[in-house]
């Protein structure tokens, strides 16, 4: 399998290199292309810098990946996935791995994730895609367990490759030294941590991460992850809704 590894945390993220190493260790042919700067929360946006229709791309060397082409791209991950599908980094990929993201991507808020946005964009061109996120809390702490996320993701690699073209899986892994097999989960309405937005009345808007009180829905990705289980959810890209009368 030919694999594109991307993310929304940027080319320098340790999670990106860890996921690429996991793909190579699995025997897949990998190429890395990721935003030159952090592009979190960009969904499937196609923003890219450059003039006259040209986007800057710089070759990089990533740790533990000798001989693996790596590119820092002045663009959002959605654009990178689209460009890869059209041969910008060699033959179009069979599989797109997006992550490992620093922080969970759960619930309906996956709509806003650049990590998930890259996977969904890749699916439109027929690639199978896996978004991988590690449940690192907003308060930070010790070095995240990137290798745990990659080890859990690797258990899905062959299954993903055998699924129909355009399949998208969203994987979340607890930030611990070991984790069990992923459990299938539904999307929660919201996660255990939400972004609070408030207007300050001085021409600015304040953002803050807050812990949500109340019980999380049983069987949801938010609930299972909070209980320490890796979760996997199959996602569908944009499609028409036949149930709406017009």
* SS3 (DSSP) at 51: coil
pLDDT digits (tens, 9 = 90+) for 12-42: 999 999 999 999 999 999 999 999 999 999 9
Bond preceding residue 100 cis, omega within 30 of 0: yes
Count of domains in the chain?
Answer: 1
Whole-model pTM: value is 0.93
C-beta separation of 6 from 78 below 8 A: no
Cβ atoms < 10 Å from Cβ of 27:
8
Burial annotation 53-66 (CB, 10 A radius, 16+ → b, else e): eeeebeeeebeebe
CB 93 within 8 A of CB 122: yes
Please report whether residue 100 resides in a domain: yes
- Would you give the end-to-end CA distance of the chain in angstroms? 43
Residues of the chain with pLDDT under 50: none
Per-residue pLDDT, 220:
96
Domain around 80: 2-235
| pLDDT score, position 195 | 67
Q: Is 107 exposed, middle or buried (0-12, 13-18, 19+ CB in 10 A)?
A: buried
Tell how far CA 183 is from the center of its chain: 18
Q: Is residue 200 part of a domain?
A: yes
Residue 68 located in a structural domain: yes
CATH code where residue 169 lies: 3.40.1210.10
Answer whether 170's CB lies under 8 Å from 105's CB: yes
């Amino acid at each position: 399998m030919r694999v594109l590894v991307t993310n929304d945390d940027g080319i320098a993220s340790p999670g990106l290199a860890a996921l690429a190493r996991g793909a190579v260790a699995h025997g897949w042919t990998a190429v890395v292309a990721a935003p030159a700067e952090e592009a979190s929360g960009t969904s499937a946006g196609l923003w890219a810098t450059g003039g006259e229709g040209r986007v800057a791309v710089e070759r990089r060397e990533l740790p533990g990946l000798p001989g693996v082409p790596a590119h820092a791209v002045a663009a959002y991950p959605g654009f990178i996935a689209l460009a890869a599908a059209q041969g910008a980094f060699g033959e179009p990929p069979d599989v797109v791995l997006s992550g490992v993201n620093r922080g969970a991507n759960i619930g309906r808020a996956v709509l806003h994730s650049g990590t998930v946005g890259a996977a969904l964009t890749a699916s439109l061109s027929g690639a199978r895609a896996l978004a991988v996120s590690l449940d690192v809390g907003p308060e930070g702490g010790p070095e995240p367990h990137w290798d745990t996320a990659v080890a859990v993701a690797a258990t899905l690699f062959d299954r993903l490759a055998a699924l129909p073209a355009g399949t998208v899986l969203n994987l979340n892994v607890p930030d611990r030294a070991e984790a069990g097999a992923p459990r299938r989960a539904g999307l929660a309405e919201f996660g255990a941590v939400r972004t609070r937005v408030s207007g300050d009345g001085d021409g600015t808007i304040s953002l803050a991460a807050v812990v949500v009180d109340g019980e999380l829905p049983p069987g949801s990705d938010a609930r299972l992850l909070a209980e320490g289980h890796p979760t996997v959810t199959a996602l569908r890209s944009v499609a028409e809704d036949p149930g709406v009368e017009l």
